[in-house]
Amino acid sequence: MNQGKMRTYDKEFKVNAMSLYLSSGKSYQQISQDLGIPGSTLAGWVEEHKKAGAEAFVGKGHIKIADNEIVQLRKELALVREERDILKKALGIFSCLRK
Protein backbone atom coordinates (compact mmCIF):
# COMPACT_ATOMS: atom_id res chain seq x y z
CA MET A 1 0.00 0.00 0.00
CA ASN A 2 1.18 3.55 -0.75
CA GLN A 3 2.17 5.04 2.62
CA GLY A 4 1.95 8.77 1.96
CA LYS A 5 4.51 8.69 -0.84
CA MET A 6 3.27 10.89 -3.65
CA ARG A 7 4.09 9.80 -7.17
CA THR A 8 5.18 12.41 -9.66
CA TYR A 9 4.65 12.37 -13.39
CA ASP A 10 6.47 14.37 -16.05
CA LYS A 11 4.71 16.73 -18.42
CA GLU A 12 5.01 14.35 -21.38
CA PHE A 13 3.25 11.55 -19.47
CA LYS A 14 0.44 13.88 -18.40
CA VAL A 15 -0.09 15.22 -21.92
CA ASN A 16 -0.05 11.72 -23.42
CA ALA A 17 -2.50 10.38 -20.80
CA MET A 18 -4.83 13.32 -21.34
CA SER A 19 -4.63 12.97 -25.14
CA LEU A 20 -5.37 9.26 -24.86
CA TYR A 21 -8.47 10.01 -22.79
CA LEU A 22 -9.71 12.71 -25.16
CA SER A 23 -9.13 10.69 -28.34
CA SER A 24 -10.16 7.21 -27.21
CA GLY A 25 -13.66 7.86 -25.90
CA LYS A 26 -12.94 5.65 -22.87
CA SER A 27 -13.82 6.66 -19.32
CA TYR A 28 -11.39 8.14 -16.80
CA GLN A 29 -11.44 4.83 -14.93
CA GLN A 30 -10.59 2.73 -17.99
CA ILE A 31 -7.69 4.94 -19.05
CA SER A 32 -6.38 5.34 -15.50
CA GLN A 33 -6.42 1.56 -14.93
CA ASP A 34 -4.53 1.03 -18.19
CA LEU A 35 -1.91 3.58 -17.12
CA GLY A 36 -1.82 2.62 -13.43
CA ILE A 37 -2.86 6.01 -12.09
CA PRO A 38 -5.87 7.13 -10.03
CA GLY A 39 -8.90 8.22 -12.06
CA SER A 40 -9.14 11.46 -10.09
CA THR A 41 -5.57 12.30 -11.08
CA LEU A 42 -6.36 11.93 -14.76
CA ALA A 43 -9.55 13.97 -14.34
CA GLY A 44 -7.52 16.73 -12.65
CA TRP A 45 -5.04 16.80 -15.52
CA VAL A 46 -7.82 17.11 -18.08
CA GLU A 47 -9.41 19.98 -16.12
CA GLU A 48 -6.07 21.75 -15.73
CA HIS A 49 -5.45 21.48 -19.45
CA LYS A 50 -8.91 22.87 -20.22
CA LYS A 51 -8.24 25.87 -17.98
CA ALA A 52 -4.58 26.60 -18.78
CA GLY A 53 -4.14 25.16 -22.27
CA ALA A 54 -0.49 25.13 -23.36
CA GLU A 55 0.59 26.61 -20.00
CA ALA A 56 -0.64 23.55 -18.07
CA PHE A 57 1.81 21.27 -16.26
CA VAL A 58 4.66 23.74 -15.75
CA GLY A 59 6.32 21.61 -13.06
CA LYS A 60 7.69 22.22 -9.60
CA GLY A 61 9.40 25.54 -9.08
CA HIS A 62 8.21 27.01 -12.35
CA ILE A 63 5.66 29.77 -12.75
CA LYS A 64 3.06 30.03 -15.47
CA ILE A 65 3.70 32.90 -17.85
CA ALA A 66 0.54 34.71 -16.75
CA ASP A 67 1.53 34.44 -13.08
CA ASN A 68 5.04 35.74 -13.72
CA GLU A 69 3.72 39.26 -14.33
CA ILE A 70 1.83 39.16 -11.04
CA VAL A 71 5.00 38.18 -9.18
CA GLN A 72 6.93 41.04 -10.79
CA LEU A 73 4.19 43.56 -9.99
CA ARG A 74 4.06 42.44 -6.35
CA LYS A 75 7.82 42.95 -6.03
CA GLU A 76 7.54 46.41 -7.58
CA LEU A 77 4.63 47.28 -5.28
CA ALA A 78 6.63 46.25 -2.20
CA LEU A 79 9.54 48.45 -3.32
CA VAL A 80 7.28 51.45 -3.96
CA ARG A 81 5.61 51.03 -0.56
CA GLU A 82 9.02 50.94 1.13
CA GLU A 83 10.08 54.12 -0.69
CA ARG A 84 6.81 55.80 0.28
CA ASP A 85 7.29 54.90 3.94
CA ILE A 86 10.84 56.29 3.89
CA LEU A 87 9.60 59.56 2.39
CA LYS A 88 6.86 59.81 5.04
CA LYS A 89 9.44 59.39 7.81
CA ALA A 90 11.73 61.95 6.21
CA LEU A 91 8.86 64.42 5.91
CA GLY A 92 8.06 63.92 9.60
CA ILE A 93 11.67 64.50 10.59
CA PHE A 94 12.08 67.64 8.47
CA SER A 95 8.78 69.10 9.59
CA CYS A 96 9.88 68.75 13.24
CA LEU A 97 13.19 70.48 12.48
CA ARG A 98 11.46 73.44 10.86
CA LYS A 99 9.46 74.37 13.92
Whether the per-residue pLDDT at 83 is higher than 90: the answer is yes
Top pLDDT among 64 and 52 is at 52
Mean pLDDT of 12-34: 86
Top pLDDT among 98 and 69 is at 69
Whether the per-residue pLDDT at 60 is higher than 80: the answer is no
Give the pLDDT confidence score for residue 5 in this predicted structure: 73
- Please state the pTM of the whole predicted model: 0.52
Residue in 32, 33, 2, 30 with CA at minimum distance from that of residue 14: 32
Q: 78-82, 85-89, 94-98: lowest mean pLDDT where? A: 94-98
3-state class (DSSP) for residue 99: coil
**Contacts of 59 by beta carbon, 8 Å cutoff, 6+ apart:** 11
Q: 34-71 burial string, b = 16+ CB within 10 Å, else e?
A: ebebeeebbbebbeebeeeeeebbeeeeeeeeeeeeee
Give the pLDDT confidence score for residue 4 in this predicted structure: 64
